């Protein structure tokens, strides 16, 4: 493709860092530089000559800097089409110089919002001139090269060196595409800020960091992930995370964040459901108790802990084949041992999830909801039976409810002493879920006498509490809300069982 020589440049940036090598190259290549304000001062400090924008437009920067570059002589110089005779004639008639390169970045709107600044400061960080320059230069990419983010300075520097201060159409189109990404992301952030209070029913999400996955849920499906995953995890070992890995990791992280770090908690998941969850006096003990719940399903699972993985824990889990282990930290000797399996993925979880919304494609659109961030706590329990609950029961019920909340509906969770005994997962009937849990618990040798039962939704009939009583389960936690609640309550009263209502349903589909 034919090259276009860069003979003039407009530079107007908020962030000045990393700009020095660019200025040096432009100076060496004899490029005319237009600029204004703080950017002009910075460029002149680098020893380069600058034509002030005010000199070009015959207008000063006005309204406290709100209007600097918004002028026909600036935008005309960017937008006029060099291959059209009429445009060239008008540019000459109005003494509009061509501008071949635009380097601009935007006021840090998102950073200002994140800082907790007041609304006036936030509004002042809505860029007008910069966003307009970006769109104008990107629109006229056939003639103009647009650099819209300091992250592109390295690519611009290489281009200026390798092509002697020129660019081709392919270069300009690529930079234009990135510029429209910059402007659309910026506008989405501004809209979402305003829409926090306005509640306009529009859906705008912009994730600018992405990666192509090996495939999607199955090998014949393409897959990608968008989001700053590196902000959440450091990967210390293993192959790249797959689509299914990421889905399971999300489920694991959401579950483990229910447990405070004061006590070791460990979970083992398969296909987003926990097959083992336990607390313990040490990470080793918590792992062994979680593994004990289902020694079969743990094979190939995703493991997660809320405390540092030490050597004692690593030694007992190393023999298990598992896909992923997530923890806030790994002791050096534990890490060395666990790295013995080259494909084993080891992730350091650096921070808690901050997202408050969930969304996914559905039918011909997108469905959005708040994340279920409500955890059932003992102080909010409503005792509905004659028999009370002990402090031990309270702890067991809270534990069971946490696991239940993160298990696919319909679900029943059986637990005792900070250990998942079994769960019935994703059943079409709550009775089927309970029977599945009972069968599984017994198959791994658990005694259900004295255990507790959690349900993600109410019991429409007393059949579940009847079955539970027959297995020795002594306490039940459920949301309540059925028109036939009294039937389950009456059965519990007649058979010396305790039951509490939470008032909160935790369906998970």
Q: What SS3 state is found at 39?
A: helix
Indicate the SS3 state at residue 348.
Answer: strand
Note the maximum CA span of the chain.
98
Strand partners, 422: 414
139 counts as catalytic = yes
Rg (CA), the chain: 31
Residue 203 and residue 209 in contact, taking contact as beta carbons nearer than 8 Å: no
Give residues with Cβ within 8 angstroms of 20, minimum separation 6: 46
Buried b (16+ CB within 10 A) or exposed e, 293-329: bbeebbeebbbbbbbebbbebbeebeebebbbbbbee
Element housing 311 (H / E): helix 311-317
User: Residue 141: CB partners within 8 Å, gap ≥ 6?
Assistant: 169, 172, 173, 175, 176
CB atoms within 10 A of CB 59: 15
Backbone angles phi, psi at 76, to 5 degrees: -65, -40
Q: How far apart are CA 38 and CA 42, in angstroms?
A: 6
- From 71, 163, 204, 271, active-site residue: 271
Task: Please tell me which residue in 27, 71, 139, 163 is annotated as part of the active site.
Answer: 139
Q: With contact defined as beta carbons under 8 Å apart, do 153 and 101 qualify?
A: no
Q: DSSP letter at 216?
A: S
271 among known catalytic residues: yes
Catalytically active residues, by annotation: 139, 271
């Amino acid at each position: 493709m034919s090259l276009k020589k860069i003979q003039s440049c407009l530079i107007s940036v908020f962030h000045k860092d990393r700009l020095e090598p660019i200025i040096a190259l432009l100076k060496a290549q004899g490029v005319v530089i237009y600029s204004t304000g703080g950017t002009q001062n910075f460029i002149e400090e680098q020893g380069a000559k600058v034509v002030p924008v005010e000199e070009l437009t015959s207008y000063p920067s006005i309204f406290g800097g709100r209007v600097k570059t918004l002028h026909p002589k600036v935008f005309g110089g960017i937008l006029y089409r060099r291959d059209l005779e009429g445009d060239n004639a008008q540019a000459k008639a109005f003494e509009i110089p061509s501008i071949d390169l635009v380097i601009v970045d935007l006021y840090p709107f998102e950073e200002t919002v994140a800082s907790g600044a007041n609304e006036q400061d936030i509004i002042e960080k809505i860029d007008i001139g910069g966003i307009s320059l970006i769109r104008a230069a990107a629109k006229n990419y056939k003639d103009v090269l647009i650099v819209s983010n300091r992250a592109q300075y390295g690519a611009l520097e290489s281009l200026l060196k390798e092509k002697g201060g020129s660019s081709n159409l392919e270069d300009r189109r690529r930079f234009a595409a990135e510029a429209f990404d910059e402007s659309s992301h910026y506008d989405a952030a501004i809209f979402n800020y305003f829409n926090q209070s306005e509640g306009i029913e529009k859906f705008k999400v912009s994730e600018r960091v992405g990666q192509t996955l090996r495939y999607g849920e199955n090998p014949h499906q393409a897959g990608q992930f968008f989001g700053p995953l590196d902000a959440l995890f450091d990967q210390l070992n293993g192959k790249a995370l797959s689509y299914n890995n990421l889905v399971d990791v999300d489920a694991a992280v959401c579950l483990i964040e229910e447990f405070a770090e004061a006590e070791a908690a460990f979970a083992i998941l398969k296909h987003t459901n926990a097959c083992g969850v336990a607390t313990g006096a040490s990470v080793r003990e918590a792992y062994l108790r979680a593994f004990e719940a289902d020694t079969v399903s743990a094979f190939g699972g995703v493991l997660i802990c809320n405390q540092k993985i030490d050597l004692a824990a690593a030694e007992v889990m190393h023999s298990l084949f598992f896909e992923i282990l997530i923890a806030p930290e790994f002791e050096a000797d534990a890490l060395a041992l666990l790295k013995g399996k080259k494909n084993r993925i080891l992730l350091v979880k650096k921070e808690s999830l901050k997202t408050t919304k969930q969304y996914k494609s559905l039918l011909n659109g997108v469905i959005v909801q708040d994340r279920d961030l409500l955890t059932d706590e003992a102080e909010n329990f409503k005792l509905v039976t004659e028999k009370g609950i002990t402090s031990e029961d309270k702890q067991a019920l809270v534990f069971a409810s946490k696991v239940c909340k993160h298990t696919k509906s319909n679900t029943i969770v059986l637990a005792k002493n900070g250990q998942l005994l079994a769960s019935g997962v994703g059943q079409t009937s709550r009775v089927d879920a309970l029977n599945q849990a009972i069968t599984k618990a017994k198959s791994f040798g658990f005694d259900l006498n004295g255990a507790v039962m959690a349900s993600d939704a109410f019991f429409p009939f007393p059949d579940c509490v009847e079955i539970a009583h027959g297995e020795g389960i002594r306490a039940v936690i459920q949301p309540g809300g059925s028109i036939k609640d009294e039937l389950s309550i009456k059965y519990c009263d007649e058979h010396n069982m305790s039951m509490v209502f939470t008032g909160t349903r935790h369906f998970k589909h």
